[in-house]
Amino acid sequence: MITDEKEFGEIDARLNENDDQISQIQNQREELHQKIRMLEMDLAEKRIKRENLENRCQEYYHCAIADFGNTDKQPDDTCEQSPEELEKILVTIRQKIVTIGDVNLEAIREFEEQKQRYDFLCEQRNDLVKAIDGLHRVIRKINRITQERFLDTFNRINEKLQEVFPRLFEGGSARLVLTNPNEPLETGVEFLVHPPGKKLTRMSLLSGGEKALSAISFIFSIFLLRPASFCLMDEIDAPLDDANIIRFNNLMKVIGEKSQLIMITHNKSSMEFADTLFGITMEQKGLSKVVSVNLDRENHGKDIHGIQLV
């Protein structure tokens, strides 16, 4: 874009310079032609006067002017300049015209070519400006819709978090905070937790089990907002103690009513809450075997739903 605009400026400057030169040459030529016409008229008039004088001299005195003396000395008449001087002026003017040179007849054609090029580039530039404006409008629309949806989802996750966090901690509260509320699409998100009996703090200051429960509450808040058909977890209960395991599994039961939960675990307490267990054993060296146990007798023989542990 910057290169095109610079090229436009250079072309426009050259065109203006050519126009000025052509105009100056035409003005000078017109002035010189006008002077030539005036001098030619003056010369013709003086020649007529000279011829008249010669005729009168011949008529009245029956002799030529040359008989009276040096012909180089011109008679004193009303003319300020002699014909010879006028001839010299004409020669000088003609030499000036030759020095100026002929008018460049190709200048008009070159001007038209440059103008066509200039108009073409201007049209392309206008198309690019329109395209850029259109893209800016689309980007602004996308940013507006994205911001609205982000803030709506952010607030709904916060609401779910107020439900899930107290269930896992038996009290307390947690909330998500935007680090830069004025720029929702560029902001970071901070997770503030308030476990029961403790001050409001950041997750980084919690113990390992509290961090795990806080992360689980955040993940399940999102999952409850947009439930999926199944959820796969890999030893998510490893950092939890027995008391937290019970609350965690109770929440798993609630979520398992609408979605199929698959969790890899080594915790026996978690296994007690499962509907189906899948065990991996190696009866022979290098050969694994899958053993499944259905703990939900009511759904025995039906499709697998609820919680399956591996």
Q: How many domains does the chain have?
A: 2
Tell me if residue 8 falls in helix, strand or coil.
Answer: helix
User: Across 44-58, 92-106, 148-162, which has the greatest mean pLDDT?
Assistant: 148-162
- 129, part of any domain: no
pLDDT of residue 303: 44
Q: Which pTM was predicted?
A: 0.54
pLDDT of 152 strictly over 90? yes
State the residue range of the domain holding 284. 232-310
Q: What is the mean pLDDT of residues 1-19?
A: 72
Q: Encode pLDDT of 49-69 as tens digits.
A: 878 777 766 665 455 555 544
Q: Which residue has the higher pLDDT, 258 or 149?
A: 149
In angstroms, the CA 73 to CA 275 distance is 141
In angstroms, the CA 92 to CA 99 distance is 10
The domain boundary residue, chosen from 86, 104, 122: 104
Copy the structure tokens of residue 74.
């011109």
CB crowding 207-229: b at 16 or more within 10 Å, else e: eeebebbbebbbebbebbeeeee
Q: Are 182 and 174 in contact (CB under 8 A)?
A: no
Q: Do the bridges between strand 230-234 and strand 189-194 make them parallel or antiparallel, or are there none, so unpaired?
A: unpaired
The domain boundary residue, chosen from 104, 129, 164: 104
- pLDDT tier, 78 (very low <50, low <70, confident <90, very high otherwise): very low
Average pLDDT, the chain: 80
What sign does the dihedral 96-101-105-107 (CA atoms) show?
negative
Residues in the chain: 310
- 53, part of any domain: yes
- 224, part of any domain: no
Residue 256's identity, in one-letter code, is: G
- 199, part of any domain: no
Q: What angle do CA 189, 195, 200 make, to 5 degrees?
A: 55
Tell me if residue 67 falls in helix, strand or coil.
Answer: helix
- 59, part of any domain: yes
The domain boundary residue, chosen from 104, 124, 149: 104
- 166, part of any domain: no
- pLDDT tier, 274 (very low <50, low <70, confident <90, very high otherwise): confident
- 142, part of any domain: no
CATH of the domain at 276: 3.40.50.300
In angstroms, the CA 306 to CA 278 distance is 14
- 172, part of any domain: no
In angstroms, the CA 292 to CA 274 distance is 12
Percent of the residues in the chain that have a pLDDT greater than 90, as a whole number:
17
Q: Which residue has the higher pLDDT, 2 or 244?
A: 244
In angstroms, the CA 198 to CA 161 distance is 18
